[in-house]
Amino acid sequence: MRIKSAEFLVSNSDVAKCPKDPFPEYAFIGRSNVGKSSLINMLVQQKRLAKTSGRPGKTQLINHFLINKNWYLVDLPGYGYARVSKSDKKVFQKFITQYFEKRKQLVLAFVLIDCRHEPQNIDIEFMEWMGINEIPFAILFTKADKLKPMALKKNIERYKLNLLESWETMPPYFITSASKGIGREELLDYIGSINQEVNKS
Ligand code: GTP
Ligand code: MG
């Protein structure tokens, strides 16, 4: 799929105020600093559409980006960031949870995992929660440029083994790097094929 246009539409902390149009949307979720905003920028080939930072906790709202005037990418705040105050964390958690529970236009969530790290409970539990709530998701391994091919392969295999302890089959997954553009075409084609299915039904 080609990206012809990508524009920021709205930020808010209330799912009820998210855009009303029926366009399919894809949300980016994962630990703070995993590279959600950077990956959105990589997909649309704009450096500063979504705000990024070396310090975790940059994205604090639900951000809708309208792509090709007929679907959305949604950038969300990260979870598991220790330095956000407890009360802020609760507010984040509440509106993120409500977003996933209530947003009808959400067709798929991308759960981002830093390919360098061992499986973390917070991510495993989040994916289990998605499963229980029947929210479709795919995994995006991020920052693939930071590992050599063998180490990358080893980490992905380790992750798969971990997931297969609780899942019957491995969810769809992609290996990506925002800085090197790895996975861009594959991911856009994947989204394109889901958009086609959604538009048929
Ligand atoms: P929050 O909004 O705080 O939840 O973070 P985020 O998940 O949106 O992460 P963000 O995109 O802001 O990126 C965090 C840091 O990781 C930044 O310093 C990015 O430059 C860096 N980063 C993101 N993606 C990549 C990547 O593919 N490769 C490398 N080397 N660095 C990356
Ligand atoms: Mg962000």
Q: Tell if the pTM clears 0.85, that is, is over it.
A: yes
User: The domain that contains 46 carries what CATH number?
Assistant: 3.40.50.300
| Structural domain count of the chain | 1
What are 2-15's pLDDT values in tens digits? 999 999 999 999 99
Q: What is the model's pLDDT at position 11?
A: 96
Is the C-beta atom of 58 inside 6 A of ligand 1?
Answer: yes
Mutation to probe ligand 1, out of 29, 32, 33 (largest number of atoms < 8 A from CB): 33
The answer to whether residue 32 is domain-embedded is: yes
The answer to whether residue 163 is domain-embedded is: yes
d(CA 171, CA 137): 7
The answer to whether residue 1 is domain-embedded is: no
Helix axes 36-44, 184-200, angle to 10 degrees: 80
Q: What is the residue-averaged pLDDT of the chain?
A: 94
Q: What is the largest CA-CA distance in the chain?
A: 45
| pLDDT surpasses 80 at 91 | no
The answer to whether residue 125 is domain-embedded is: yes
Is the C-beta atom of 103 inside 6 A of ligand 1?
Answer: no
Range of the domain at 70: 6-196
